[in-house]
Amino acid sequence: MKPMATSSPSYAAGDVIVVPFPYSDRLAQKRRPALVVSNDQLHAAGMIWVVMITSAKNSSQPHDFVIAALSRAGLSSPSLVRPSKIACLEPSRILRVAGTLGKTETSTVRARVRDFLK
């Protein structure tokens, strides 16, 4: 008997998702929004790169990006993307899609991530 084909959710760069995001300084995680920054090629390999979204009240860092369109992003309070905090996750870890950032905003964040790879 042939296994039944299953449809897995698809995610795109710019999606704001909710995930258990790992802390960088301890073996723990926190449920929080994150921005998908990887492309379809990585997604086809079963991995997604995301960067942390945090409250805007947290002290800003030079590469942080303030999210202007909160309702489109599915966020209820002033927030910013922190490109210096990136994680690699399997899609099964994604709890839900909250919203999206526009193409221009997503391109800006991805460029800031690339700055760390130069």
Per-residue pLDDT reduced to its tens digit, 29-70: 789 999 999 999 998 999 999 999 999 887 789 999 999 999
- Domain ranges, ordered by start, for the chain: 15-115
Question: CA 72 → CA 67, 75, 85, distances in Å?
Answer: 10, 8, 22
Domain 15-115 sits in CATH at 2.30.30.110
Q: What is the pLDDT of residues 78-90, one digit of tens each?
A: 999 999 999 999 9
